[in-house]
Amino acid sequence: MKTFAQALDLIDDPDRIAEYDRYHVEAWPEVVRGLRSLGIQRMLLWRTGRRLFMTFDAPEDFDPVSDYQTYAEDPRCREWDELMKSYQQRIPNASGPDGAWWTPMDLVFDLEAQPS
């Protein structure tokens, strides 16, 4: 398994941000199944203000851009993604592969990799 980290911003509207949070209290079952079908075992979304930070564990060969496209082949998952994008925007210094909505983040420090 490999851990991926990505960042994104929400549109600057407190009511919309609250709606976004409420949607994630109980994500649609098709979305949960779709993510798991990609091999994602754990996904965490964190938010401070408008900034979202996501980590997820997926197989070593997982490609966040192309593999998410297979997830979006399911009409309900595609509907969820389109709905969520209506709340989101790329971060100001967004970079990454073409087609990436979330900006990938680089690992800077890993306590487990440090000598005891």
What is the distance between the alpha carbons of residues 30 and 85, in angstroms, rounded to a whole number? 17
Domain spans in the chain, listed from the N-terminal domain onward: 2-107
- Cα 92 from chain centroid (whole Å): 17
| pTM, entire model | 0.87
CATH superfamily of 2-107: Dimeric alpha+beta barrel. (3.30.70.1090)
One digit per residue, the tens of pLDDT, for the chain of length 116 reads 999 999 999 999 999 999 999 999 999 999 999 999 999 999 999 999 999 999 999 999 998 888 888 888 999 999 999 999 999 999 887 766 665 688 889 999 999 999 98
Is 88 in contact with 6 (CB distance < 8 Å)? Answer: no
Tell me whether residue 58 is exposed, middle or buried, using C-beta atoms within 10 angstroms of its C-beta: 0 to 12, 13 to 18, 19 or more.
buried
C-alpha distances (whole Å) from 81 to each of 29, 85, 86, 106 are 13, 6, 9, 24
